Chains A and B, each alone.
Chain A
Amino acid sequence: MTPVLFIIIPLASAFLIALIGRKREFLAPALSSLATVTLLGFSVLTYFRLGSGILVYELGGWKMPFGIALVLDAFGAFMLVIVSLIALTSLLFSFRYIAHLGPDWKYYALFMILVSGMNGVLITGDLFNLFVFTEIALFAAFALVAYGGRAHELEAAFKYAVMASVSSSLILAAIAVVYSATSTLTMAHVSVAMAGASPGLKIWVGALFLAGFGLKAAIIPFHAWLPDAHSSAPAPISAMLSGVLIKALGIYVLVRIFFNILGAPHVFLQAFLVLGAISLLLGVFLAVGQWDLKRLLAYHSISQIGYILLGIGLNTSLGMAGAVFHLLNHALFKSLLFYNAGSLEMGLGTRDLRKMGNITRLMPVTAHSSMVASLAISGIPPFNGFFSKLLIIIAAVNAHQPVYALVAVVGSLLTLSSFMKVQRYGIRGENPVERLQSRPGWGMNAAMVILAVLCLFTSLLIVPGIKESVLDPVAAAIMSKTGYAAAVLGGR
């Protein structure tokens, strides 16, 4: 099984959908779900077969410094599982939701291009190739944000596209600097060449990459586009953007570049800690004041990304395991919350928390799964969010950074308060809503139930024994730092 399948399957299905999807209405959803199920199966299989090994595939048989290499290690495979899982539930949710906006094969084709762009970013071993896949994913994302064609959606997409073009320019400049300094673009070779580079060069390259990919991850000084884009997109796409896109294009790439290529320079770890703490607190402060449910969730994405950055910046294997765990958990509960918001918007015709009410009786699945997700994101014990936050907090204390541990605790409390607001005014609100505009279909309910169950079951990843076999290889792959290069160059 070659890693190139992770690009070929979604890309081929996108073009097939574009070709034959318009003939019969059921073909587009059927093809895209077939592709995503296959991807999920492959990614889970690859993840467990790979263990802590590394898979290198040279496209077209061109040897490494000349051709483009695809590299799959535990971290990449772990992210592939998350992408496929969220993509599958998002499709399940889309069948009914998108039919309600108007049946369209274009949606499914764009969706599969989004998936192939993200998968490409996750498995590529070449810096410029990574840039190209980032752009593929982003193009699909702009079009999907604007999919509804209403005024505010177009505006959000425009804002998003302008911001993304700025960040792409910065990333391209960074890649140019890397190329001129090291004369190679293969990540492993760059990593070897950068080991002997002057600190000044590392700062230059790192600053450009941090600004470029920080914009895509919506870390706080670069966050302005996120609340608009993520709240204007159709609900399943918001789930994809908030759940996986900002992680695959933002966090994953930042970790890959700063840990595996630049070897975790101290100044950037400090920057991660500081930016993470600021994002964590400011994101949640901005979220508490929102009445628009999807905007509130979008601001929470900024804050949760802050947690992940905090865990990464600690630079200990416990902190890294916590960050990786939180990455998975945030994908699960944030996607679930966006599905809840989508089903509420479909049922009640509003996203304003003050206009909701009577949800427990009219939409029991939505009400109960949103309860699970709210508890999980606020870090209440039996759910996954508690354990990952706990890991990050313990790691912060162990690393003698009590201030950041305190920030994480305060952030968690504020998260709890803002989700109590959602539950109190929204789900258990007092508006006498008598009937729904349209009922959520079985697919939407199934997507919500699957994620709610996973929110509970992924807590098991913390159990000793399971943690060692699932989370630790991923953390080890990141913490091996420039050992990545040796593994790629030696493990052929």
Chain B
Amino acid sequence: MIIYLLCFALFLIGLYGLITKRDLIKIILASGIMGYAVNLMIVLFGYRRGAVYPILEKGKEAAVMVDPLPQALVLTSIVIELGTTAMLVALAIRLFNKYKTFDITKIRRLRG
């Protein structure tokens, strides 16, 4: 149970950073932390105590295995997150070129 709570805490840290930070790069990092927390949760859901990796080999008897599907899902979701991060960083670089700052309080042009 404690491990799920820690995972949730990681998610909240990401959310906190996303809401309170004023720096574009820190916001990107915070969104990354949120993503890690969710990925970790998916892997934890597939975990079985004392289980082996889910590959059948010759000479190895079938034992309790961890669920392989969440691991496959997490791979996909990591790739998607990489894409999101790359997109955010690219936008942040373009914004920096325009404003010469990463501070969102100085960037705010859209209001209302």
Contact = CB atoms under 8 A, between A and B. Distances in A.
B84 to A, nearest CB: 5
Contacts of B39: 172
Contact of A135 (B24, B83, B110): B83
A143 B87 contact: yes
Interface string A165-192: 1101100110110011000010000000
Given A128-B73, A154-B98, A172-B38, A142 B87 contact: yes
A101 to B, nearest CB: 16
Nearest to A172: B38
Contact of B18 (A139, A157, A166): A166
Task: Tell me what chain B mostly uses at the interface: helix, strand, loop, or mixed.
Answer: helix
A168 B92 CA distance: 20
Interface stretch (A117-125, A144-152, A248-256): A144-152
B80 interface: yes
A179 B94 CA distance: 39
Contacts of B88: 158, 161-162, 165
Residue in B27, B37, B38 with the greatest tally of chain A CB atoms within 10 Å: B38
Nearest to B69: A179
A132 B69 contact: no
Interface string B24-56: 100100010011011101100100000000000
B99 interface: yes
Interface string B92-103: 101100110000
A164 B87 CA distance: 12
B109 A151 contact: yes
Given A166-B31, A169-B38, A179-B70, A151 B80 contact: no
B47 to A, nearest CB: 11
Given A135-B83, A169-B34, A158 B24 contact: yes
B95 A158 contact: yes
A162 B99 CA distance: 19
B31 A151 contact: no
B91 interface: yes
Contact of B35 (A132, A143, A169, A232): A169
Contacts of B34: 165-166, 169
Contacts of A161: 84, 87-88, 91
Nearest to A290: B112
B92 A158 contact: yes
Contacts of A151: 95, 98-99, 109
A131 B38 CA distance: 14
A168 B84 CA distance: 10
B107 A155 contact: yes
A139 B83 contact: yes
Contacts of A239: none
Nearest to B95: A154
Contacts of B69: 179, 185
Residue in B77, B99, B108 with the greatest tally of chain A CB atoms within 10 Å: B77
12 contacts: A128-B76, A135-B80, A151-B109, A154-B94, A158-B24, A158-B91, A165-B34, A172-B77, A173-B38, A176-B38, A176-B73, A228-B110
The 7 closest A-B pairs by CB, nearest first: A180-B45, A165-B31, A151-B98, A176-B42, A158-B91, A228-B110, A169-B34
Interface of B: 11, 14-15, 18, 24, 27, 31, 34-35, 37-39, 41-42, 45, 69-70, 73, 76-77, 80-81, 83-84, 87-88, 91-92, 94-95, 98-99, 107-110, 112
